Structure 1
Amino acid sequence: MCGGRGTRLESSAEKPLFEISGRPMVDYVKDALAESRVETTHAVVSPHAPETRAHLEGELPIIETPGEGYVTDLLTALDTVETPVLTVAADLPLLEGAVVDTVLDAADGSTSVRVPAALKDALGASTDEDGAWVPTGVNVVADDADSVFRSYDARLAVNVNRRADAALAERLLALRTDAPKSGEVVEGDDGP
């Protein structure tokens, strides 16, 4: 799902193209899905995200939606694919293929993936939901009964909706990368 405007990010960039550590968020999600056992990934776009559409065109099949809100756009997308289907918001730059596979393994019919609100609070991630367990932006939609998968995985807890979320995602991504940090000398590197 990558049709959002990203108004809460206070950026001229469309939300899926908002950069985290120099890369559009949607590219992190696209890579995570490619690393998972998901067979086909579609980009669900709206008229609110023409640059996102252009960015993904030729890389992923595109599903056009009216841009009337998440639920309406999701229903439009579901009319074009067979269930069960995994839906993922484009604002999860910490997502990894192994996490996606864990969700798929745990899914029991239509499954809402949730994390503890306390985890989001502890990380400093924003939430617009009330309750002890909050949605992650990852769901399985099927024709079966509804279920909930509860995860304590921080990679599902950081949806980038605000600038503070973007800063948090960048800090957490920096912790998991093997790339040399600015000014760090790498063995065999004689420097400038």
Structure 2
Amino acid sequence: MCGGRGTRLDADAEKPLFEVAGAPMVDRVADALAASGLERAHAVVSPHAPETRAHVSAREDLAVVETPGEGYVADLRTALDRVGTPALTVAADLPVLDGAAVDRVRDAFDGRSVTVCVPAVLKRRLGASADTTFERDGRALAPAGINVVADASEETIYETYDARFALNVNRRSDADLAETLLGGADGPR
């Protein structure tokens, strides 16, 4: 999912093209998907991010799915109608993901939809923003922005303390934290 405007990031570039440690976030996520055991990847774009659409269209490892840009949920439905389910979905603002992390989510799929969450306390400890949280069993959890969507109405929560799932870059402070976790602008990609 890479069709958002990224207004909270307050950047000149479209959010998916915002560079973290020397590479656009959408490339970091696409590279993680390519390094995983997934068969294929699609970049879901909207009219709100035309430069992102052009950028991902140039990648041979991504098929592009265009949506009307009516919001995350509506655009996700459009994308799922095109690619089918089950489908692993991931937001373009998770630049510290890698193939192994993606495979952990894929392996957690047991026929039910999977919502990946991290404890809100982990986000606070890292210094990452947490815009959305919910209570489960008396603890605050934050959705990670990576899920598996299946046809079944049943859903499972996959809770992890893995920092690779705890950092959605929504603000400059999140980008700075991602740079630190990745080893800086000259660090690993």
Q: What is the TM-score when the length of structure 2 is the normalising length?
A: 0.91
Equivalent AA in structure 2 for residue 116 of structure 1: P
Asked if 1:111 is matched to 2:114, the reply is yes
Equivalent AA in structure 2 for residue 31 of structure 1: D
Tell me which residue corresponds to 2:150: 142
Equivalent AA in structure 2 for residue 143 of structure 1: D
Tell me which residue corresponds to 1:6: 6
Q: Distance in 2 between matches of 1:34 and 1:13?
A: 24
Asked if 1:156 is matched to 2:165, the reply is yes
Task: Tell which has more relative contact order, 1 or 2 (C-alpha 8 A, sep 6+).
Answer: 2
Q: Distance in 2 between matches of 1:130 and 1:110?
A: 19
SS of equivalent residue, structure 2 residue 121? helix
Tell me which residue corresponds to 1:46: 46
CA distances 1:40-62 after superposition (whole Å, capped 9, x unpaired): 10000000110001001142211
Tell me which residue corresponds to 1:126: 129
* Divergent runs of 4+, >4 A: none
What are the residue-to-residue correspondences of 1:47-62 with 2, within 5 Å? 47-59=47-59, 60-62=62-64
Tell me which residue corresponds to 1:102: 104
Displacement of 1:130: 2.7
2:133–2:143 contact (8 Å) kept in structure 1: no
Tell me which residue corresponds to 1:188: none
Q: Percent identity?
A: 64
Q: Distance in 1 between matches of 2:3 and 2:94?
A: 14
Tell me which residue corresponds to 1:186: none
Unaligned runs of 5+ in 2: 135-139
Tell me which residue corresponds to 1:173: 182
2:94–2:169 contact (8 Å) kept in structure 1: yes
Considering only aligned residues, what root-mean-square deviation do their CA atoms show, in Å? 1.3
Equivalent AA in structure 1 for residue 122 of structure 2: L
Q: Distance in 1 between matches of 2:58 and 2:70?
A: 25
Q: Distance in 2 between matches of 1:82 and 1:71?
A: 15
The number of aligned residues is 178
Q: Distance in 1 between matches of 2:64 and 2:48?
A: 14
